[in-house]
Amino acid sequence: MRLGPLSIGILFGLNLLLSVSAAAFYVHVIAPQFEHPKKPEPSAVHPPLSSHSPIPPASPPGLSPQPPSNQAQLLPGSLADIVAQVLPSVVNIRSAYAPQNPFGSPYDLPYSTPFGRRGPALPESLGSGVIISEDGLVVTNHHVIHGARRIRVSLSDGREIPARIIGSDEDTDMALLRLEGTNLQLKAIPFGDSSQLRQGDIVLAIGNPFGVGQTVTMGIVSAVGRANIGITDLEDFIQTDAAINPGNSGGALVSTKGELVGINTAILSRTGGNHGIGFAIPSNMVAPIVRSLLEKGKVIRGWLGVSIQDLNADLAMALHLPQGQQGVLVNGVEPDSPAARAGLKAGDVIEQVDGERLQSSSQLRAVIASRGAGTQVKIVYVRGKERREIEVRLAERPQLGPGPWPWGGALRRYWGARQAPLNLGPGVEVGGLVVHELNESIRSLVGLPPSMKGVFVSEVIPGSPASASGIEAGDVIIEAGREPVENPRELLERYARKPPEGLSLLVRRNTGTFYTLLR
């Protein structure tokens, strides 16, 4: 059928009308809607503030307070009230000092000149600190103020106040300052219980990164009880992915309750910038150090009197501990020590100290040392299948004497044998160990007390099961399968009926002991 010119014109007009209508509908539905802010009604109600919220400031004359927008009300989990609560307690620290480390610290931020960064002799560095008392006590890191000739602290309200060092502790990288002056009107941050932190808890890191001013970053607790990092001698760090950068050192790690749970200390970075791995000293470690520095000007370390080692799954199975047992293995107890008086024994596994779960022997050493002498601690430990709880009053850590020979036991034994020829007697091979019954000649060489039983190791055969045990010639095996061993025949019999995971051995080396497996 052919259409005339009039019909074609009508159809074209209808088609155009439908196309325009469809386009208008598409634009109306898809395009975003923009509205000007509306003036709030007099009856508008502000959202309630938490109990920690600051009082909102009065509005300037002639202006009505603006309520949060609908978008802001829909944002879940705002931490603005917490931040406003704790910011006045976090300060910036500027130290003028003669640098002790020619390479500087990854946390010390040197000032720059218009011509670029200064040379290695940097007269000033920036760090952060936390006000912990209204009369002017400030906690920071040892490396922030180490060697400082002059320290000035900048508060969140813009005031700058000189400070002096009360005490400092390099082993934990902690320092305590006091602001000079009276009627300072400071706000102290409350301490939280860092032992209650769990992986995944939200935390805030507050400090002065790169000298730009107070900055808040948010992250989670990545791990607790981190040790063997190589940052300090005594390590029990909280690991977090909250962004921490140079200048944050000494700043606050804060919980969502607005409580101090850690002091930011270090980052794991190849470039000096944030890679999401930061470390903070837990508040439960900070508090006793502060008390000791305040009272004595130095830290008096706590001492339990145990020798310890990490516990792995194979060793736990060989010691007949509950499946999945975690904690720190006690492999020796000093006579007349707090641990001995409390009844701890070799083979016990310490799970908790004051509610803090233990992951490593380094963590336990740091926790006990930081608690201080005279402090009573609650210890949860496992003996066999039984879980027990005791309270122990820590003693002062004794001064350490000379350590083991730096070249290992082999050289010491060689010189000992030259001075006094060693009478070993007949030897027995057990799993690649050549062992001998103890006699006076051996006891004199290795310094064993007359009452201690065991067998002497004269040789470890390469490639044998014993070569993977960590035992060396000159060691003394004093237990096998959690029972004392008195002669090579007993050791051979127990090895012949060892469990699949191996035979647990308690070994004495020099003046210390450790557990191992002979497979």
Ranges of H-type helices in 62-163: 70-74, 80-86, 142-145
Give the Cα separation of 480 and 455 in Å (integer): 10
Give me the pLDDT at residue 97, please: 57
**Residue found by looking up tokens 């006690």 in the block:** 330
Give the Cα separation of 484 and 477 in Å (integer): 9
Residue 246 pLDDT level (bands cut at 50, 70, 90) = confident
Give me the pLDDT at residue 150, please: 92
Decide if 263 contacts 141 (C-beta within 8 A): yes
Ranges of H-type helices in 50-128: 70-74, 80-86
Mean pLDDT in residue range 450-459 = 91
Say if residue 70's pLDDT is above 70.
Answer: no
Residue 506 to residues 405, 409, 448, 516: CA-CA distances in angstroms?
21, 17, 15, 7
Decide if 328 contacts 411 (C-beta within 8 A): no
Give me the pLDDT at residue 34, please: 26
For 319-331, how does the pLDDT look when each residue is reduced to its tens digit (9 = 90+)? 888 888 999 999 9
Say if residue 280's pLDDT is above 70.
Answer: yes
Closest CA to 140 of 226, 284, 264: 264
Decide if 178 contacts 171 (C-beta within 8 A): no
Give me the pLDDT at residue 306, please: 96
User: Torsion angle of alpha carbons 129, 130, 133, 134, nearest 10°?
Assistant: 90
Say if residue 492's pLDDT is above 60.
Answer: yes
Catalytic residue among 89, 128, 142, 143: 143
**Burial grade of 89 (CB within 10 A; 0-12, 13-18, 19 or more):** buried
- Name the more confident of 35 and 280: 280
Identify the structural domains of the chain with CATH numbers, from first to last. Answer: 85-179 (2.40.10.10), 194-296 (2.40.10.10), 302-396 (2.30.42.10), 409-518 (2.30.42.60)
- Name the more confident of 31 and 388: 388
Catalytic residue among 89, 108, 168, 173: 173
Residue 478 has a CB neighbour count (10 Å cut-off) of 21
Give me the pLDDT at residue 420, please: 53
User: Torsion angle of alpha carbons 436, 442, 443, 446, nearest 10°?
Assistant: -110
Give me the pLDDT at residue 259, please: 97
Which residues are CB-contacts of 492 (< 8 A; sequence separation ≥ 6)?
428, 430
For 138-197, how does the pLDDT look when each residue is reduced to its tens digit (9 = 90+)? 999 999 999 898 999 999 999 999 999 999 999 999 999 999 988 899 999 999 999 999
The fraction of the chain above a pLDDT of 90, given in percent, is: 54
> What are the backbone angles phi and psi of residue 104, rounded to the nearest 5°?
75, 175
For 366-418, how does the pLDDT look when each residue is reduced to its tens digit (9 = 90+)? 999 988 899 999 999 999 889 999 999 999 988 654 444 333 444 344 444 44
Burial 250-289 (b: 16+ CB within 10 A, else e): bbbbbbeebbbbbbbbbbebeeeebeebbbbbbbbbbbbb
Catalytic residue among 249, 360, 362, 469: 249
Q: Is residue 143 flagged as an active site residue?
A: yes
Chain-centre distance of CA 67, in angstroms?
42
Q: How many Cα atoms occupy the beta-carbon half-sphere of 137 within 13 Å?
A: 16
Counts of helices then strands in the chain (DSSP H, E): 11, 30
